Amino acid sequence: MTKEKIERKIVIPGEVIVKGEDYLPGEGTEKKGDELIAIRYGLAEESNRLVKVIALSGIYQPRRGNIIIGKVENITFYGWVIDLDSPEGAFLPLQEVPKYVDKDRLNEILDIEDMIVAKIIGVTSRGIDLTIKSRGLGKIDEGIIMKINSNKVPRVIGKEGSMINLIKKESDCNITVGQNGLIWIKGNKIGNELLVKKAIMFVSEKSFTHGLTDEVKKWFEKERTKNKDKIDKIK
Amino acid sequence: MTKAFKRSDGRKFDETRAMEAKVGVVPNANGSAIFSFGDTIAIAAVYGPRKMHPQHQQDPEKGTLRCHYSMLSFSVSERIRPGPNRRSTEISKITEWALEPVLMIKKYSNMAIDVHINILQANASTRCAGINAAALALAHAGIPMKDIVSSISIGKIDKQLVVDLNKDEEDWEEGEGSTDIPITMTADGKITHIQLDGRITSKELKEVIELARKATKEIYEVQKKALKDSIKNIK
């Protein structure tokens, strides 16, 4: 027996999403008798009988395997304390650095105020553990870092990376999106980096629009003609 | 004797003042809302979950809710001294107790959720307007909740029970004296907070709760609409 798919809808805490035993409670939902109720404000969605609520607001929830961008807050004997711009602090232990480290000169590898791209390897009640032992992870040495709401990260990346690939192609920049909402942009021209920043702001403001990828394409074209006009004027 | 009871502002005994609600009014907060009963306007802003300061108040077992209620100096005709006082401290605590039963903040250990409630304009029932706004703001901030609470004050004018008192009615001393009963309920009619200022018989109290149940349902609809409409606006 196949049930009809539930339409995407906005739910508020305590609201009944579906009745009946045909569905399983996922993230942001709870079973109460034979009803599935939402426990947070967001968009309710169903796939393979699993019902979940996509959060639209709230703080960043660290998960294992997330790529994040953080700032070195402090240096200890065993590693670095990293600030993820979330209430919980994170820790990067010595063993998780892919080269030999002189225990007396930790600051030569990463100093306070340095920014890093790292991966979460564990979330416990005591804190978050990080690693930089993988390709694409490590210290950030140049570029721009910007911050958006962490709930809008999936929109910036798009379906299977469609949005971020479009922005990369249009601007010729390297972009790393941290799941905690920090984004690292690196291009060969500062103008391109600023263009990416503007584009990402555009995406995060219009994050509820349907067919956003096409709209961003149009936006890039508009920006390009604007820039051309400016150059022509100067000439 | 069957003359219909009429109030000074022409409302029926079980009629609330015009209600209005909106979420997302404070851009810097994680969640915010404004709620009004006629001339009584409350604005609530939620910050966090964030690290609890001072550190000795951190609770490793669960998250903590902190409410700050404050009446702005221009909210009443005679200027009131700004800052915390005996009354506002009490109402802050009452608001915490009214909201806590629906919050699911156990996983936010060592963290605090700050709710700031400001009364922009006061004409009685300010704590109820404050609780309604705070419930909306908490939901808007993406805090997991079992349900949304709605609050209403029920009073007595001589022998007649009335819903949603205004200042003149609250101070009505003739007959059996002034009585004011603020009640907070969840959407399915469970009481999270009840106060009594004045005198009432137990039989009347049962009627009061029935009236409150009806009124909170109306308030809940207003709150629900406010949360759902906020996303349409972005579209």
Residue ranges per structural domain of chain A: 9-55, 67-140, 144-233
Domain boundary assignment for chain B? 19-234
Question: What does the pLDDT look like over B18-60, one tens digit per residue?
Answer: 999 999 999 999 999 999 999 999 999 999 899 999 999 999 9
- Cβ distance B48 to A55 less than 8 Å, yes or no, reads no
Q: How confident is the model at residue A125 (pLDDT cuts 50, 70, 90)?
A: confident
Which of A7, A12, A39 to mutate against chain B (most B CBs within 10 Å)?
A: A12
Mean pLDDT value across residues B130-156: 96
pLDDT of residue B197: 92
Distance CA A167, CA A190 (A): 15
Whether the domain at A67-140 and the domain at A144-233 fall into the same CATH topology: no
pLDDT of B167 higher than 70: yes
Identify residue A216 by its one-letter amino acid code.
V
Query: Quick one: tokens of A51?
Result: 């019902």
Peptide bond into B27 cis (omega under 30): no
pLDDT of residue A215: 87
Q: What stretch of H or E contains A154?
A: helix A153-157
Mean pLDDT value across residues A130-143: 92
Task: Give the CA-trace dihedral at A184, A187, A191, A196, to 10 degrees.
Answer: -40
- Cβ distance A15 to B49 less than 8 Å, yes or no, reads no
Q: How confident is the model at residue A159 (pLDDT cuts 50, 70, 90)?
A: confident
Tokens 């909740």 locate to B145
pLDDT of B1 higher than 50: no
Which of A9, A43, A57 to mutate against chain B (most B CBs within 10 Å)?
A: A57
Residue of B nearest to A54 (CA): B142
- Cβ distance B235 to A208 less than 8 Å, yes or no, reads yes
Residue of B nearest to A149 (CA): B30
For domain A144-233, give the CATH superfamily: K Homology domain, type 1 (3.30.1370.10)
Peptide bond into B182 cis (omega under 30): no
**How is domain B19-234 classified at the CATH fold level?**
Ribosomal Protein S5; domain 2 (3.30.230)
- Cβ distance B145 to A15 less than 8 Å, yes or no, reads no
Q: Are A68 and A84 within 8 A, CB to CB?
A: yes
- Cβ distance A57 to B31 less than 8 Å, yes or no, reads yes
Q: Are B22 and B34 within 8 A, CB to CB?
A: yes
**How is domain A67-140 classified at the CATH fold level?**
OB fold (Dihydrolipoamide Acetyltransferase, E2P) (2.40.50)
- Cβ distance A87 to B111 less than 8 Å, yes or no, reads yes
Distance CA B96, CA B115 (A): 9
B111 Cβ under 8 Å from any chain A Cβ: yes
> Which residues of chain A make contact with B228, given a CB cutoff of 8 A?
10, 12
Total count of residues recorded for chain A: 235
Closest C-alpha to B184, from B145, B204, B225, B212: B212
> Which residues of chain B make contact with A54, given a CB cutoff of 8 A?
none
- Cβ distance B231 to A87 less than 8 Å, yes or no, reads no
Residue of A nearest to B224 (CA): A12
Chain centroid offset of residue B35 CA? 9
pLDDT of residue A5: 59
A77 Cβ under 8 Å from any chain B Cβ: no
Distance (Å) from the C-alpha of residue B47 to the closest C-alpha of chain A?
10
Q: Are B65 and B100 within 8 A, CB to CB?
A: yes
pLDDT of A210 higher than 60: yes
Residue of A nearest to B107 (CA): A125
- Cβ distance A207 to B234 less than 8 Å, yes or no, reads yes
B216 Cβ under 8 Å from any chain A Cβ: no
pLDDT of B235 higher than 80: no
B141 Cβ under 8 Å from any chain A Cβ: yes
pLDDT averaged over chain A? 89
Question: What does the pLDDT look like over B82-121, one tens digit per residue?
Answer: 999 999 999 999 999 999 999 999 989 899 999 999 999 9
Identify residue B90 by its one-letter amino acid code.
E
The dihedrals phi and psi of B150, each to the nearest 5 degrees, come to -130, 145
DSSP state string for A189-221: SHHHHHHHHHHHHHHHHTTT-TTHHHHHHHHHH
Class of domain A9-55: mainly beta
Which of A41, A52, A123, A204 to mutate against chain B (most B CBs within 10 Å)?
A: A41
- Cβ distance B228 to A39 less than 8 Å, yes or no, reads no
Task: Give the CA-trace dihedral at B222, B105, A52, A177, to 10 degrees.
Answer: 110
pLDDT of residue B224: 96
Q: Are A76 and A87 within 8 A, CB to CB?
A: no
- More confidently predicted of B128 and A24: B128
> pTM of the prediction?
0.89
